[in-house]
Structures are given as C-alpha cells and as structure tokens.
Amino acid sequence: YLLLVRNEMTVSHKHLGEFCGSLKQYLKSVAGERDCFHVTAVKLPDGVTFIVYEFWETEEDWKR
C-alpha cells in the first residue's frame, strides 16, 4: 500500500521568491519524515505553477 499526494499551486510573480524559499524548507522537512518514501516538486514551464508529489506509507502517516 502506498499513498500518493499531489498538490498543484500557482503563485503570483510578486510572491515567487518567498514561495520558493518556503517550498524548499517544506520539502526538506517532509523528506525527513520516517514514513515519507519520497517528496519532490516540479515547476511547470509557465514559471509560476508548481506540483508537489509526496509518497507516504499510509494515509494516517500523511495526515500526521
């Protein structure tokens, strides 16, 4: 059993720098979680849309 969580976010150009900093911190934090198999973010060609993929052992682990 594996849970895939996908979040898509569009950011305004004005807040792009702040968002990228927060996203890096979030990815680092989630990657350190014991029950998270993998986490990654993809920036789409428009430059302001990001998709974050998280792979968790169970839904309960993700919600925690």
pLDDT of residue 46: 97
Q: CA distances (Å), 59 to each of 18, 46, 51, 62, 64, in order? A: 29, 31, 19, 5, 9
- Pairwise CA distance, residues 28 & 46, whole Å: 24
pLDDT of residue 64: 86
Judged against a pLDDT cut of 80, whether residue 1 lies above it is answered with no
For the segment 6-29, the average pLDDT, to the nearest whole number, is 97
Fold (topology level) of 3-63 = Alpha-Beta Plaits (3.30.70)
Contact 21, 29 (CB under 8 A): no
pLDDT of residue 24: 97
Domain map (residue ranges) of the chain: 3-63
H or E element at residue 31: helix 16-31
| pLDDT tens track for 22-55 | 999 999 999 999 999 999 999 999 999 999 999 9
